[in-house]
Amino acid sequence: MRSIDIHSHLLPQCLWDTLDAGKEWYGMRYDNPEKTSLWVREGRSGGIHPKVRLKPEDRIKDMDAIGTDLQVVSVHTQIFGYHLSPQDGLAQAREINDEIAGMARDRPDRFAGMATLPMQDVDASIAELDRAVNTLGLKGAELDTVVNGKNWDEAEFLPLFKAAESMGAVLFYHPNPRHNILEPRNTRLNLPNAVGVPMEDAIITATLICSGILDKCPDLKVCIAHGGGPACYLMGRIDRGWRGNTAEQYMPNPPSSYQKKLYYDCVVMSEPTLRFLVDQVGADRVVLGSDWPFVPWDPNPVGWIQGLESLTQDEKDLILWKNLEALLGV
């Protein structure tokens, strides 16, 4: 039995090397003299989890401790560079992608990778996805659920979907926790993270389904973080909104009939929720995710899956490794 984790984050070593040299890295800098907080942009800063600085050899030791055989590495979403100039956004993406590819090249038995893309420039993003997949050997790209205020059903993004489909690249959607629909309304109760993030997952799930993108790109490979948020729970309501409404013009069949075309990671943090997700979409559409290193929900996601009484062994095997082995070719 293997374990393959699609949801593991990275803050690249090129970031730390630049900051430790006393310079800024694409506008980012240490936020205090103790170097325990990172200023990202727009006055936003956050504490530095100690594990995000681990080099690959120490990261592997942590993986061994929690029973993870292979991590699919993607950048920490707070440093998506969509706000940068197109030139800087591309340069940042290339640095990150080269580093992730190096990890996978040096230890293909332990790491695979997802690219990040400069989505403020769709043409540059398509070119960088091609380089990442066909030259660097990455498996696809991690994307935010919104691009500088634009939803993913905008016509300008369709060429990226077409390109990803033709390359066989997987698109992994993960919201930036500092940019979601709840953040402007409530910052006191941790609701932007606890509720706002999964709501963004639900919005991208519903957008991909209801916009007709999955009909235009029938072979597109997409995985949504955090179990797609409450999207599958809301499918009855989404179906009702589709019937006799403007959404009906974009797709010939009810939205619920499309939910099994997507993949969803298992970061739902409760057994009943995961059981519901599996019942809705099938165990062949649910994959292991940990949100490494931000895993306060369970220090050992692999062990958590293995210990769930509501899942059969066949379902556990699909979630832990078989689905991602087939999807990613690892």
DSSP-assigned beta bridge partners for residue 143: 173
- pLDDT 10s digits, 39-64: 876 656 677 788 988 999 999 999 99
Instruction: Please say if the pLDDT value at position 111 is more than 70.
Output: yes
Q: Please tell me the least confidently modeled range out of 113-127, 176-190, 204-218, 261-275.
A: 176-190
Residue 5 has pLDDT above 80, yes or no: yes
What pLDDT was estimated at residue 163?
98
Helix (H, G, I), strand (E, B) or coil at 10: strand
- What is the identity of the amino acid at 313? Q
91, 117, 273 from 61: Cα distances, Å: 31, 29, 30
Q: Rounded mean pLDDT of 263-285?
A: 97
The string of pLDDT tens digits covering residues 281-329 is 999 999 999 999 987 667 789 999 999 999 999 999 999 999 999 999 9
Q: What distance in Å separates the CA atoms of residue 326 and residue 307, rounded to the nearest whole number?
A: 24
pLDDT band at 130 (very low <50, low <70, confident <90, very high): very high
Which numeric CATH code is attached to 4-12+51-328? Answer: 3.20.20.140
Residue 162 to residue 168: CA distance in whole angstroms: 10
CA distances to 58, 281, 303, 319 from 275, in Å: 34, 10, 16, 12
CA dihedral 224, 222, 277, 292 (to 10 degrees): -40
- What percent of the chain is predicted at pLDDT more than 90? 80
pLDDT of residue 93 exceeding 60: yes
| Arithmetic mean of pLDDT over the chain | 93
The full set of domain ranges for the chain reads 4-12+51-328
Mean pLDDT score, 125-153: 97
pTM (2 d.p.): 0.95
Query: With contact defined as beta carbons under 8 Å apart, do 26 and 94 qualify?
Result: no
Q: Which amino acid is at 11?
A: L
